[in-house]
Amino acid sequence: MAPSSLSAPVLAIESSCDDTACAILSPQGEILAERVHTQADHAALGGVVPEIAARAHLSVLPGLVRETLEESGLDIAGIGAFAASTGPGLIGGLIVGSTFAKGLAIARKRPFIAVNHIEAHALSPRLPGHGGDGIKFPYLLLLMSGGHCQCVAVRGVGDHEKLGGTIDDAAGEAFDKVAKLLGLGWPGGPALERLAREGDAQAVSLPRPLLGRPGCDFSFSGLKTAVARQIAPWGAEALPRKVAADLAASFQRCIADVVADRARHALEQLPAARALVVAGGVAANGNVRETLEAVARDHAVPFFAPPLRLCTDNAVMVGWAALETIRAYDAAGIPLEDGIEIAPRPRWPLAETGERLRATRGAGATD
């Protein structure tokens, strides 16, 4: 007899950008096994090349899934459901990952859950055993990565409202671009943070775009341009270490100040928020975390950020989002939505997920 999707592990795949990942979670959310393959070829090219990324996913994914199953000690017959990031992201990678997972689901006659990559980030703080077990809906999410920068009201599974977003560069994109200007290579966020520790965050006067403005939208393009103007007088000459460190520290401080300001405005728009949560690659930045933690204290709400390894793209969050989805459909008493027919999408707004769930339970669900 086939195992129930509510009583057997979930196998999840993440391939929305340049990391190929697979994870297996128990029905309770325990991580039974996980594997991540980070593509190194893009570093020499200064950024992710979609075609190269898609081919790399195709090459490594079968072996990665086998390794994850071996680590878990499970046979594929024991998997109750399969899931994959189906959007948003780079379409080539999404096609590879979701098609592979769909093939497994069809072959084993199991459910396939098409996971919205942003919702996976949004729900990841609730993963048991990583500090966020007690987080209840609704909460405010700041999603900050190379491709996304949003303030999101997370009211339930499939029930999210975008309160604000970037009008140009995402925060992670700005980190990478400024790191490249400073000669730090790619990905630049971690390298810039290390360099910033040597610098004076007050040394260079830089703009703080939209600081104090109404709403909670973001803009980082002008800040990136301001850094470029500071570097321009040096021409082709390498920046002195002290100059580069001061620029890195000043830039990082600007990002943290702007993000904190936007978070305050977002919390005012969501007075019922039970927590302030940050996720995405930029959530790994210590300065940003500390600043947002202070905002949470000022508003008397708990602050939570996932463990560093779960801030960036990973299959654990995809598996957890699938489990949350399975539970939500079961609690609503409606059949689990068949994701086989859901095509990968480079753009997939959160507002277009969970229509059936919202229609069943009504708006403003909490738990």
In the chain, what are the domain boundaries? Answer: 10-126+311-361, 139-305
Residue set of the binding site for substrate: 143-147, 176, 189, 193, 285
User: 171-181 and 241-269 are packed helices; what angle lies between their axes, rounded to 10 degrees?
Assistant: 170
Q: Is 139-305 in CATH node 3.30.420.40?
A: yes
State the chain's mean pLDDT as an integer: 91
pLDDT digits (tens, 9 = 90+) for 349-358: 888 888 888 8
For residue 19, pLDDT beyond 70? yes
For residue 118, pLDDT beyond 80? yes
Residue set of the binding site: 117, 121, 143-147, 176, 189, 193, 285, 313
Residue set of the binding site for Fe cation: 117, 121, 313
For residue 363, pLDDT beyond 50? no
Q: What is the mean pLDDT of residues 245-254?
A: 98
pLDDT digits (tens, 9 = 90+) for 39-63: 766 455 566 788 888 999 999 999 9
pLDDT digits (tens, 9 = 90+) for 219-231: 999 999 999 999 9
| Fold: same for 10-126+311-361 and 139-305 | yes
pLDDT digits (tens, 9 = 90+) for 289-333: 999 999 999 999 999 988 888 888 899 999 999 999 999 999 999
Amino acid 306: pLDDT: 86
pLDDT digits (tens, 9 = 90+) for 257-290: 999 999 999 999 999 999 999 998 899 899 999 9
Contacts of 190 (CB under 8 A, 6+ apart): 284
pLDDT digits (tens, 9 = 90+) for 119-142: 999 999 899 987 666 789 999 999
CATH no. of 10-126+311-361: 3.30.420.40
pTM to 2 decimals?
A: 0.91
